[in-house]
Amino acid sequence: MPIVVLAVLAALVALLPAAVPWLRFVFIITIASGFAALGVAVLLRAGLISIGHALFYAVGAYAVAFLMRATGTTDLFLLLAAAVVVSGLAGLVVGAFMVRYRAIFFAMLNLAVSMVVFSLLSKLYGLTGGSDGMRVATPTLVGSALDREAFNAVFLYVVIGLFVAAGILVQLYFRSPMGEALAAVETNEVRLEYLGVSVRGVLLSAYVLSAMLAGLGGAIAGIAIGHVVPEMAYWTESGHFVLVAVLGGIAGPAGPFIGAIFLEVLRTLASGFAAETWNLVVGVALLLVIFFLPEGLYGIGAKLFRRRGAQ
Amino acid sequence: MTPPILKVENLRIAFGGVAAADGVELEIAAGEFMAIIGPNGAGKTTFLNLCTGYVKPATGSVLFEGRDITGLSPRAITRRGIARAFQIPQLFAGHSLLENVMLALAARHGIRQVLAPLDREAYRVEGRALLELVGLETAAGQPVSELPEGMRKLADIALALALKPRLLLMDEPTSGVSAQEKYALMGTLMQVLKTEGITALFVEHDMEIVRTYAGRVLVWDSGKVLASGAPEAVLADERVIRSVVGAV
Ligand SMILES: Nc1ncnc2c1ncn2[C@@H]1O[C@H](COP(=O)(O)OP(=O)(O)OP(=O)(O)O)[C@@H](O)[C@H]1O
Ligand SMILES: [Mg+2]
- What is the distance in angstroms between the Cα of A294 and the nearest Cα belonging to chain B? 13
* CATH number assigned to the domain comprising residue B236: 3.40.50.300
Among B93, B222, B118, B91, smallest CA distance to A47 is for B93
Q: What residues in B contact A196, CB-CB < 8 Å? A: 75, 78-79, 107-108, 163
Cβ-based neighbour number of residue A70 at 10 Å: 8
Residue B164: other Cβ atoms inside 10 A: 14
Q: For residue A252, what pLDDT band results from cuts at 50, 70 and 90?
A: low
CA A16 vs CA A10, A186, A220: distances in Å: 10, 40, 20
The torsion of the CA quartet B108, B111, B112, B118, rounded to 10 degrees, works out to 130
Q: To 5 degrees, how large is the angle CA B137–CA B204–CA A306?
A: 60
Asked, for residue B127, whether it belongs to a domain, the answer is no
The minimal CB distance from A195 to the residues B87, B107, B118 is found for: B107
- For A172, name the nearest residue in chain B, comparing CA atoms only: B115
DSSP H or E run through B47: helix B44-51
In a domain, B181, yes or no: yes
Binning pLDDT at 50, 70 and 90, where does residue A276 land?
confident
- Give me the pLDDT at residue A284, please: 75
Lowest-pLDDT choice from A59-63, A85-89, B152-156, B224-228: B224-228
Do the Cβ atoms of B91 and A188 come within 8 Å?
yes
The beta-carbon neighbor of A176 closest among B75, B104, B114 is B114
Q: Is the beta carbon of B199 within 6 A of some atom in ligand 1?
A: no
Residue B240 lies in a domain: yes
**pLDDT at residue B243 is higher than 80:** no
How far away, in angstroms, is A32 Cα from ligand 2 center? 52
Find all residues with CB under 8 Å of B197, minimum gap 6, and list them: B31, B166
At residue A266, does pLDDT exceed 90? Answer: no
B200 assigned to some structural domain = yes
Closest-CA distance, A195 to chain B, in angstroms, reads 6
Q: Which residues pair with A144 in a beta bridge?
A: A141
pLDDT digits (tens, 9 = 90+) for B13-61: 999 988 999 999 999 999 999 999 999 999 999 999 999 999 999 999 9
Record the pTM: 0.90
Delineate the domains of chain A, giving CATH numbers in brackets. 2-310 (1.10.3470)
Q: Which of A85-94, B93-102, B116-125, B182-191 has the lowest mean pLDDT?
A: B182-191
Between the CA of residue B164 and those of A36, A194, B158, B175, what are the distances in Å?
Answer: 41, 13, 10, 23
pLDDT band at A259 (very low <50, low <70, confident <90, very high): confident
pLDDT, greater one: A297 or B245: B245
- Nearest CA owner, ligand 1 atom 7: B15
B10, pLDDT greater than 80: yes
Tens of pLDDT along A116-132?
Answer: 999 999 998 888 888 88
pLDDT of residue A100: 95
More confident residue, B147 or A145: B147
B15 lines ligand 1 (CB under 6 A): yes
Question: Could you give the CA distance from residue A161 to residue A164 in angstroms, rounded to a whole number?
Answer: 5
List the domain range (segments joined by +) for residue B32: 6-81+165-245
Q: Using a CB–CB cutoff of 8 Å, tell me whether A96 touches chain B.
A: no
Q: Is residue B124 part of a domain?
A: no
The residue-averaged pLDDT of A222-240 equals 93
pLDDT band per the 50, 70, 90 thresholds, residue A50 = very high
Name which residue leads in pLDDT, B97 or B1: B97
Spatial distance between the Cα atoms of A272 and A291, rounded to a whole number of angstroms:
29
pLDDT, residue A295, reads: 40
Residue B223, ligand 1, Cβ within 6 A = no
Contact B72, B92 (CB under 8 A): no
Q: With 80 as the cut, is the pLDDT of residue B242 above it?
A: no
How far apart CA A173 and CA A167 sit, in angstroms, is 10
Q: Which residue of B has its CA nearest to A295?
A: B94
Query: What is the per-residue pLDDT for A254?
Result: 64
**Minimum-distance ligand 1 atom for the alpha carbon of B38:** 21
Of B12, B44, B204, best ligand 1 pocket probe by most atoms within 8 Å of the beta carbon: B44
Is residue A310 pLDDT above 50, yes or no? no
Q: What is the residue with the minimal CA distance to atom 9 of ligand 1? A: B46
What residues in A contact B93, CB-CB < 8 Å?
A: 187-188, 299, 301-302, 305
Residue pair A53/A238 in contact (Cβ under 8 Å)? The answer is yes
Give the pLDDT band (50/70/90) at residue A2. Answer: low
Give the count of domains, chain B: 1
